[in-house]
């Protein structure tokens, strides 16, 4: 982890344990979020490289923070004894940002709200891996902060007018993950509301109409929208035939995008579905072959090949 100056004496207190002393100092918390949209067409399918580069630069400190926490959390879950220092370090970083009320300041745009909800979901899922190592004071600080962020996410989402698409589902995952790791039923209930809404949006063939409006990126967003839905279903232990249909359509479209191309009038970019099938397969008792390459997704808590403690795993079904 990169070295940064320690900004407050309260942070020194968080570094008082022996394991945490080996940890690099957490980066200064990002209170405000400056992010911008980078699509240049009405379908939000054509990327403006200049705008995208600006957004990446502005949000990199938050993305880097999330990635480092996910690394420590994944290492700790893989081997709590051997990697205790990694877990302690990740908890120190989370507690540091919690104490500084990170991401609760000014958000510059709707894109900034997207960044916050993606980060919240990833942090909650990483914290689920780390919670057994957290002390009482750390649990209180981190979980209180996650709940405050979840409250802000729900308030922003509920106030939004117009249609709801993949962003709503990722908000649902963020709040559901907070509910799962804290045991707060209010957040789990809100996540169930989002899931039910998504199931109600599904077309008869399993496509999600809002994602089909994304022109050349329709398949990309069909996949992207399905990922949080399968994780919400696993956390809440939901088995829904409509989700089965969504997954079936998404996997088939990934293998052969010609149907979506014909329906939308745009050739589709090839998109893999390992994130979908890995999470869905574990929950439905249909485990997939583990790929040789690590499936690394900080917004989903790190290494997807390592089941998250919040997932409900089913016994493998006979073929």
How does residue 14 score in pLDDT terms, banded at 50, 70 and 90?
Answer: very low
CATH classification (class only), 9-303 = mainly alpha
Q: Is the pLDDT of residue 176 over 70?
A: yes
Paired tokens of 9? 């004496």
| Number of neighbours of residue 81 by Cβ within 10 angstroms | 6
- Residue-wise pLDDT for 245-274, tens only, equals 999 999 999 999 999 999 999 999 899 999
How does residue 12 score in pLDDT terms, banded at 50, 70 and 90?
Answer: very low
Q: Is the pLDDT of residue 16 over 50?
A: no
How does residue 318 score in pLDDT terms, banded at 50, 70 and 90?
Answer: low
Burial profile 210-224: b = 16 or more Cβ within 10 angstroms, e = fewer: bbbbbbbbbbbbbbb
- Residue-wise pLDDT for 130-158, tens only, equals 999 999 999 999 999 999 999 999 999 99
Can you give the pTM of this predicted structure? 0.91
* Residue 22: per-residue pLDDT: 66
How does residue 319 score in pLDDT terms, banded at 50, 70 and 90?
Answer: low
Calculate the alpha carbon distances from 311 to 66, 161, 231, 289 in Å: 20, 32, 7, 18
Q: Is the pLDDT of residue 5 over 60?
A: no
Nearest CA to 91 out of 135, 125, 61 is that of: 135
> What percent of the chain clears pLDDT 70, i.e. is strictly above it?
92
Average pLDDT over residues 10-38: 70
- Residue-wise pLDDT for 196-229, tens only, equals 999 999 999 999 999 999 999 999 999 999 999 9
Alpha carbon distance 208, 164 (integer Å): 11
**8 Å CB contact between 32 and 61:** no
List the Cα angle 235/307/81 in 5-degree steps.
Answer: 120
Burial profile 226-237: b = 16 or more Cβ within 10 angstroms, e = fewer: bbbbbbbbbbbe
Tell me the H-state helices in 79-134.
84-99, 110-130
Average pLDDT over residues 6-23: 40
């Amino acid at each position: 982890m990169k070295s940064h100056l320690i900004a407050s004496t309260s942070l020194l207190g968080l570094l008082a344990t022996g394991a945490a002393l080996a940890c690099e100092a957490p980066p200064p918390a990002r209170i405000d979020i400056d992010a911008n949209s980078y699509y240049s067409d009405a379908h939000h399918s054509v990327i403006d490289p200049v705008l995208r580069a600006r957004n990446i630069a502005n949000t990199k400190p938050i993305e880097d923070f999330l990635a480092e926490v996910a690394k420590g959390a994944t290492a700790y879950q893989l081997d709590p004894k051997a990697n205790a220092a990694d877990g302690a370090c990740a908890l120190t970083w989370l507690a540091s940002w919690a104490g500084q009320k990170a991401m609760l300041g000014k958000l510059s745009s709707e894109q900034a709200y997207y960044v916050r909800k993606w980060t919240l979901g990833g942090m909650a899922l990483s914290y689920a891996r780390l919670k057994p190592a957290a002390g009482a004071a750390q649990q209180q600080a981190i979980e209180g902060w996650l709940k405050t962020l979840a409250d802000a996410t729900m308030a922003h989402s509920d106030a939004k007018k117009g249609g709801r698409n993949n962003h709503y589902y990722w908000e649902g995952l963020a709040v559901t993950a907070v509910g799962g790791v804290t045991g707060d039923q209010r957040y789990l209930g809100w996540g169930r509301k989002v899931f039910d809404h998504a199931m109600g949006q599904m077309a008869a063939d399993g496509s999600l109409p809002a994602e089909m409006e994304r022109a050349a990126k329709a398949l990309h967003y069909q996949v992207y929208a399905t990922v949080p839905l399968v994780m919400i279903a696993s956390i809440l232990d939901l088995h829904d035939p409509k989700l089965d249909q969504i997954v079936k359509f998404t996997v088939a479209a990934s293998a052969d995008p010609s149907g979506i191309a014909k329906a939308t009038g745009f050739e589709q970019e090839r998109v893999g579905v390992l994130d979908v099938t890995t999470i869905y397969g574990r929950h439905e008792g249909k485990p997939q072959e583990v790929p040789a390459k690590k499936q690394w997704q900080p917004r989903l808590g790190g290494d997807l090949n390592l089941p998250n403690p919040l997932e409900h795993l089913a016994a493998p079904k006979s073929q």
